[in-house]
Amino acid sequence: MDPSEALPPRLIVLEGESEGLSFRLDWTSTIGRDPENTIRLLDERTSRHHAVIRFADGAWTLKDLESANGTWVEEVRQDKPLRLRGGERIRMGNTVFMFEWRGELPPEPAQLELPDRSSVRILNSHRHAVELGQDEDTEPISAATAPAGDGLLKAASGSPRLEVLLRIHHALAELREMNDLADVLLDHLFGAVPARRGAVLVAHADHTLEPVAIRRPPDEPDSRIPIGRSLLRSALSRREAVMTRAEDAGVTALDEGSAITAPMVYQGRLLGVLHLESAAQFQPGDLDLVAAAAAQAAVAVANTRLLERVRKDAEHRANLQRYLAPGLVEQLLEGDLSLEPDGATRQCTLLFADLRGFTAMSEWLPSKDVFATLNAFFQRMVDVVHAHQGSVDKFIGDAVMAVWGIPDFTDDDAANAVLAAVKMQQELVHFNLEREAQGKPPLQMGIGIHSGPVLAGNLGARQRMEYTVIGDTVNVASRIERLAEARQTLVSEATMAWIRPLVHATERPAVHVKGKRDPVKTYEIHGLRDATEERSEIGRNHPRHKTAARVALTSDDGRVHQGLLADWSETGAGVKILPEQMQGLEPGMTVRLRGPEDDGDDSLEGTVVRIILARDHAGQALFKAGVRFRDPPERVRERTRGWLDLESGTSGAQIRSSSRPL
């Protein structure tokens, strides 16, 4: 072959989450969802340890690692190792690779070697590996265990050796990097036993060993450490540390010495091997000490891998939670939900929320204040979206785009979106109170919501892909948001069809929007109805009186919410409350309404059936709580006669001046 035509071995992703990427292969490359794999796939249909590709005897071989959904080559499931020649299409879960190779190999091994061909073979690349094969008369490596309890007790019988074990224990407990663990282990053992050379190898899921630390005299020109087949096989098959003369172990450089090989096993899983060689003869006490040290090292390696897996899983989860509701993230990670890698039609509800006038404000604000304001605003809005089972699709300047119905549509999507919109407007009021206390100008927001079909899938270039939704529904939702004024939430007729019984809304005149031939009808959302609300129960069929009497609502938890009685009837009342008095008041709560001179026995009992965002005549944001009385009409008339002052309206300034404690 012409050297100029040689290509290194690699897997090119043709379909799936990582489409367009390519992965260069080592002598041994593992593939799966586990972070420890050479090639990690973010594909819920692949197993944690799905398959392995390795080079041996001049050929590349693909082997399935008993994965749940199988490894398929040219749409044929492969249950046995398959020799790859180049150009094959390999499917694992939703990911499709093409294997490419023309003669070029990874770097040759330089760290370890065996004195003869055996069930253990040395491979090398930037992930120096020792492959563990299986002879017919040996059991699988993954089944090996090494009971170290007896060795630990024997080693502890001598005080100096116990001190060594304690030092190793404390040193390993403080380390989190595999290389550091191995180096410290060899440091302590070389100070306690007459070792001349040593190595620590860690085991991987594909039954390979990787040397992570090697210790040898500085006067040795050869960088390789040979490990004999019989010694390693004996240690693994007997599930305990073994000691032998160097010449029997195949260590030809130390004909007068001896060698110890101890498997590092934790809860039945082989996690590595500790190998020491001496120019002298190791003693039985040395064997016990090394066996106990290997057992301690196995625990440390298990903890290190667990912490690394937790850290990577946490990073992966955090990345998903930036956009998806936490509940959806957990379902995705567990494989209960899937995101279509290609475009798929979905029924969704879209929400756009945009700050009004912020572009002009940002022109005179310092840049750091612009970013600080937007980040604080976005954080509050995202928390509300996630709390109502939505997912954030993207941020567009000072706007938020959220979606309900991804990955799966539910009948509650539109209701959750509208509920989120109401809460977002309320949350902005609280945010403005904080800004007002800091001497900063308030923010105002308009929201638009629309429901309909979208195309959902991965969109972008090879260098940057994102899962998003596109289509006419998205465009209409954006147009409706632009129609909304400050502090206003508008929904389309398609969304209104899902939520009509749940909200207080006003129909607006239909208007033409860009890209639509027919005018679009919208509704302004004023608040949410209580699930049990009936017109007759909240006083709509009784005469209602406008008032400006100072009252207080006391909830079940003892909190007192000061406000003004805005209107009342024999069966219900509306109470205007400033945002700072709203903490803890929610629809469905039982409350007691009392006037300035009333005590607890003279109050009226009722249920908060709704809370809406209102405004006074000056445009100041207020909340209005609708209360349905439980007392009979006669008692309502009797209790209210003494403290209701009838007038036509009230302002935020009046409420603020009257909101001292009763």
In order of their start, the domains of the chain are 7-102 (2.60.200.20), 150-218+228-245+256-309 (3.30.450.40), 339-528 (3.30.70.1230), 543-648 (2.40.10.220)
CB 641: neighbour CB atoms within 10 A?
8
pLDDT of residue 618: 59
How far, in Å, CA of 60 to CA of 657, rounded?
82
C-alpha 477/C-alpha 474 separation (Å) is: 5
* Separation of alpha carbons 480 and 511, rounded Å: 10
**Burial bucket for residue 149 (CB in 10 Å: 0-12, 13-18, 19+):** exposed
Q: What is the pLDDT of residue 38?
A: 79
Evaluated on CA atoms 656, 660, 661, 662, the torsion sign reads negative
Comparing CA positions, the residue from 513, 507, 485, 511 lying closest to residue 495 is 507
Q: Is 480 left (phi over 0), alpha (psi -120 to 50) or beta?
A: alpha
DSSP element (H, E) containing 325: none
pLDDT averaged per 10 residues in sequence order, the chain, 662 residues: 62 82 82 81 84 85 90 92 90 91 56 36 29 32 34 49 77 76 87 88 75 81 64 73 66 64 83 87 86 88 80 69 61 57 79 91 86 92 90 90 85 90 88 86 93 83 72 92 92 90 87 84 82 40 64 84 82 82 80 73 81 65 82 80 47 38 36
Element (H, E) at 160: helix 159-173
* Sign of the CA dihedral running 319, 325, 327, 332: negative
Question: For residues 129 and 113, is the Cβ–Cβ distance under 8 A?
Answer: no
Residue 375 near residue 311, CB atoms below 8 Å: no
Residue 657's pLDDT is 38
Amino acid, res. 233: R
| The residue type at 77 | R
Alpha-carbon distance values, 163 to 110, 148, 155, 195, 467 (Å): 36, 17, 10, 18, 56
Q: Looking at the DSSP assignment, which residues form a beta bridge with residue 626?
A: 574, 610
Taking the alpha carbons of 235, 241, 247, 252 in that order, is the dihedral positive or negative?
Answer: positive
CB neighbourhood size of 579 (10 A): 19
Q: What is the pLDDT of residue 159?
A: 55
pLDDT of residue 616: 60
Q: Is residue 220 a contact partner of residue 228, using CB atoms and an 8 Å limit?
A: no
CA 392/CA 407 separation, integer angstroms: 13
